[in-house]
Amino acid sequence: MGIFKKFERQFGKPQGLLGRIAGKLMELKGTEKIEWTISLLDIQKDDKVLEIGYGPGVAIELLSKLTPNGYIVGIDHSDLMFKQAQKRNLAAIKEGRVDLRLGDVANLPLFDIAFDKVLSINTIFFWENPVEILKHIHRIMKPGGVIALTIQPFNETDEKAKEYGHQMMNYLENAGFTNVRMEIKSMKPVASVCVLGMK
């Protein structure tokens, strides 16, 4: 688990009252890094996008606005986050443009579509076997598709954030992604790091 211990439990699988508070914090504090990550993905109107660990569904909502002719799939293993994200994205779900799943990323199915873009924000260090999961994600992406993994660690320094970025770059390279690069954005209280790779 390693870095996992650095994260508060409720952010790994929000549930109950504390989980609700964690969800609220994600909504209030997460928008800047979500918007930044989405901007790095150069989303197109017809993109098919997968988000892993959607939390309260803020990124899903932004993505669905950017993809009027596209399709957004999300997976999160928290029942509470599933309900909150569903509520936030009800209209787009009813229109059939957003598909939210409740489940563990370790059991990600094969989809009948291939994804242009994949993102995951402040989630990867909760995964048990990141490289295996990333190999599966690589399989379900289109050639030329882009993945973005962002992290803004809690209670850490900018240097530590960069260290995590290098670790995520290794994960992507070991899973078969190419053109792997790191972007860093200065933020309060600590920098966000986004690692991108191409299939």
Name the site residues for ligand SAM (rule: CB under 6 A).
11-14, 26, 30, 34, 53-55, 58, 75-78, 81, 104-106, 121-123, 126-127
- In angstroms, the CA 28 to CA 24 distance is 6
> For 199, which DSSP code?
-
Name the residue nearer to ligand SAM (CB basis): 138 or 178.
Answer: 138
Q: What is the smallest separation between the CB atom of 160 and ligand SAM, expressed in angstroms?
A: 17
Q: What is the smallest separation between the CB atom of 143 and ligand SAM, expressed in angstroms?
A: 26
Bridge-based pairing state of the strands 115-121 and 141-151: parallel
For residue 189, give the 3-state DSSP assignment. Answer: coil
Q: What is the smallest separation between the CB atom of 122 and ligand SAM, expressed in angstroms?
A: 4
Q: What is the smallest separation between the CB atom of 77 and ligand SAM, expressed in angstroms?
A: 4
Question: Which residue, 195, 48, 75, 199, is CA-closest to 138?
Answer: 199
Burial class (CB in 10 A: 0-12, 13-18, 19+), 155: exposed
Name the residue nearer to ligand SAM (CB basis): 46 or 87.
Answer: 87
| Residue 174 Cα distances to 105, 138, 178, 182, angstroms | 18, 11, 10, 15
- In angstroms, the CA 160 to CA 154 distance is 10
Name the residue nearer to ligand SAM (CB basis): 101 or 142.
Answer: 101
Name the residue nearer to ligand SAM (CB basis): 107 or 179.
Answer: 107
Name the residue nearer to ligand SAM (CB basis): 126 or 177.
Answer: 126
